[in-house]
Amino acid sequence: MLMYVFINVLYLIAGYFWADWRNWKKYYPTVLFLIIGDFLYNFLLYNKTMWLFHDLILPNHTLITLFTMTVSYSVTVLIYLGRFPQGWKKRSLWFLLWFGVYTVVEYINNKLGFITYHNGWNIWWSAVITGIIFLILPIHHKRPLIAWAISLLIVISLLNHFDVKISEMK
């Protein structure tokens, strides 16, 4: 099965119906913020990966990641922030919906062998990071420097927790 092609097609369909394409420029910095985060993971942990994507059509983790960054991340931000509700109760439900979708999709992909975990990473760590991502996206949208500062602290904490040494980096 071509899992990541299938998932990204679903995101494109969702984006067609629900993304705020009219205001894409307003969300573009946050799309780049999300993509840069993934690029940093792939660059900093090139020699000590925490997870790898596998697919039957896309030949390697790098191409799967680039495809996901381009399609899924862009559409996610345009829907998530473009329809971000008012009020804490609605925002909490919106967060839980997106957190749930991303976590369930990853869980299924792991069970089917389309994502494997390494070096102490697991679905629980992915769930934590997914939660952080969906909490930080609206922060970045309104106050980017605060989001960058929070992200830097999280990255340093994760590198420390998983004992990633600078000498292990490419």
| Single-letter residue type at 56 | L
Angle made by CA atoms 142, 148, 52, in degrees to the nearest 5 = 115
pLDDT band at 56 (very low <50, low <70, confident <90, very high): confident
Mean pLDDT on 46-64: 91
Q: What is the pLDDT of residues 82-137, one digit of tens each?
A: 999 999 999 999 999 999 999 999 999 999 999 999 999 999 999 999 999 999 99
Residue 117 near residue 110 (C-beta atoms within 8 A): yes
Q: Using CA atoms, how far apart are residues 169 and 79, in angstroms rounded to an integer?
A: 35
Please check whether residue 147 is in contact with residue 140, taking contact to mean a CB–CB distance below 8 angstroms: yes
Structure confidence at residue 29 (pLDDT): 98
CB 168 within 8 A of CB 48: yes
Token code pair at residue 2: 């071509």
Q: Say what the pTM is.
A: 0.94
pLDDT at 118: 98
Nearest to 33 by CA among 143, 156, 124, 127: 143
* 159's tokens: 């590198």
